[in-house]
């Protein structure tokens, strides 16, 4: 791959990554999404996803947040329902990331 093709491929990967984070968080900076969920949905190679992740982290488009547990209450139950736990890295989109995603993602 020549340098120009490589540059275009990296841009495509970055756009896909940011759009996926934006979509999964619904553009809400208070929502966290597991790193692995994004990696699985994009189907990039391990090194490719890591490079894109660290690029956006360094540039301030996403934030790494601690993994968390989320309680889910079903309408028919009275107590707390199932507990969904995130393991590994989790991320949230920043306002800067939202603005960029609005420009890139259709």
Reported as a single tens digit per residue, the pLDDT across 55-106 is 999 999 999 998 765 544 555 555 554 445 556 789 999 999 999 999 999 7
Work out how many domains the chain is built from and give that number: 1
Q: Compare 75 and 51 and report the one with higher pLDDT.
A: 51
Return the CA Rg of the chain. 16
**93 class by beta-carbon count within 10 Å (0-12 exposed, 13-18 middle, 19+ buried):** buried
CATH number at residue 22: 1.10.10.10
User: Which segment of 26-30, 31-35, 81-85 scores lowest on mean pLDDT?
Assistant: 81-85
Render 58-87 in DSSP notation, one character per residue.
HHTSEEEE---EEE---TT-SS---EEE--
Predicted local distance difference test score (pLDDT) of residue 72? 47
Residue 51's pLDDT is 94
Query: Exposure pattern of 14-37 as b/e (b: 16+ CB <10 Å)?
Result: bbbbbbbbbebbebeeeebbbbeb
**Boundaries of domain holding 28:** 3-104
Residues 6+ apart with CB under 8 A from 66: 90
Q: What is the model's pTM?
A: 0.80
């Amino acid at each position: 791959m020549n340098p120009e093709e490589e540059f275009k491929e990296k841009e495509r990967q970055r756009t896909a990554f940011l759009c996926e984070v934006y979509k999964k968080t619904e553009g809400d900076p208070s929502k966290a999404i597991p790193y692995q969920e994004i990696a699985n949905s994009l189907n990039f190679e391990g090194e490719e996803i890591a490079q894109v992740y660290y690029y956006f982290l360094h540039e301030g488009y996403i934030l790494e947040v601690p993994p968390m547990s989320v309680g889910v209450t079903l309408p028919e139950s009275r107590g707390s329902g199932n507990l969904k736990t995130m393991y590994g890295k989790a991320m949230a989109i920043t306002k800067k990331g939202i603005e960029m995603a609005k420009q890139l993602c259709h």
